[in-house]
Amino acid sequence: MKTRKAIWAIAALALLSSACATRRYGRPIGGFQAASAVVIASTRQWLETANKLERDHYIDSQRAAGDVIEPKQLEEMNRTFAAEDIAARMQALRILGDYGALLARLAATEGPQEASAAVKELGEGVKSLGTTATKLCTGAGCATGNTRFQQATGVVAKVVGRILEGWLSRKAGVALDETIVEAEQPVSELIGAIRQDIQSLAERRRQAASEQWSAAIREFNAEAKGKPATPERLRVLAERVKTQADLRERLASDAPTAALDAMDKAHRALVTYARSKKTPQTFSQVVDAVDAFATAAAQAARAALPVLERLRQEVL
């Protein structure tokens, strides 16, 4: 009889320990989800303005050169991303957001069954993303990041899709640990692919800002050498030079690339914690990583004012 009671006591303790471990995930996963939402919003803004940047840069360059704007050239000029490229990346960002939300929900519930609707929705989203990515252009003249993006979404569709299929048969603690561990590579690959796109876009924006800065200086010098130089015009052109100089400095840190890096590190910390024995030390480590991610996300949010609007902050 005592032996049977001891067995039941051990079983009850194990169940309690599992429930506590799941609840303990609440803080880091909740922080990961909240910070992810901020970074995703900042990244989405950069992608949405990609083509507008190209068009506005062409218009500004023609103005600085005193040249005419060719409607056909404006329409057919090379763009960073086609509409379908941007749509696919927006879809990927939603998947990342839904993934974080699902982890948070699983950490807050007693079992995967309670999150069944969210599991199904994410599964359908992952499958749709995989289909969308396969249709993207990867040849000459296409967005340079499409190939890596396709590869990343392919891994997500394969691995995460398999995880979700077997999710509902697992217990809460096991489902949470196994999901985080198995999703390490696909989530990291997807974050990396999007980060590469943002890095490429940031380089183009910095180049555009440098060209506009140089053009502003040329305009000022040309006016200053004129006979006679117009004081009011010189003041206007000097303000334009200062605006472009400020913009160049801000663009060095405005892109959410650091926040995306922190997102990847925070997720890897969650993976490490999922594989660990859930000690206070490993818990502290994952909390620190998520806190660092939250800080980077906040910085990205503060820098999220549309860069294109800054490019237009010239005194005409």
Interval 124-150: pLDDT, tens = 888 899 899 999 888 877 878 888 999
153 is written with which tokens?
A: 């979404």
Indicate whether 312 pLDDT > 50. no
| pLDDT reported for residue 313 | 46
Q: What is the mean pLDDT of residues 106-128?
A: 75
Q: What pLDDT digit, counting tens, does each position of 274-288 carry? A: 778 778 888 888 888
| pLDDT reported for residue 252 | 57
- Evaluate the omega torsion of the peptide bond into residue 256 and state whether it is cis, within 30 degrees of 0: no
| Ranges of H-type helices in 112-256 | 116-134, 146-155, 161-165, 172-182, 184-224, 231-254
Residue 162: pLDDT band with limits 50, 70, 90: confident
Q: Which of 150-154, 163-167, 173-177 has the lowest mean pLDDT?
A: 173-177
| pLDDT reported for residue 251 | 65
| pLDDT reported for residue 8 | 26
Indicate whether 293 pLDDT > 80. yes
Going by C-alpha positions, the residue among 204, 188, 203, 172 that lies closest to residue 25 is: 172
Q: What pLDDT digit, counting tens, does each position of 217-258 carry? A: 888 888 888 777 788 888 888 888 888 888 777 765 677 888
Q: How many other C-beta atoms can be found within 10 angstroms of the C-beta atom of residue 313?
A: 12
The pTM score is 0.74
In angstroms, the CA 260 to CA 40 distance is: 9
For 50-84, the DSSP string reads HHHHHHHHHHHHHHHHT----HHHHHHS--SS-HH
Q: How many other C-beta atoms can be found within 10 angstroms of the C-beta atom of residue 257?
A: 21
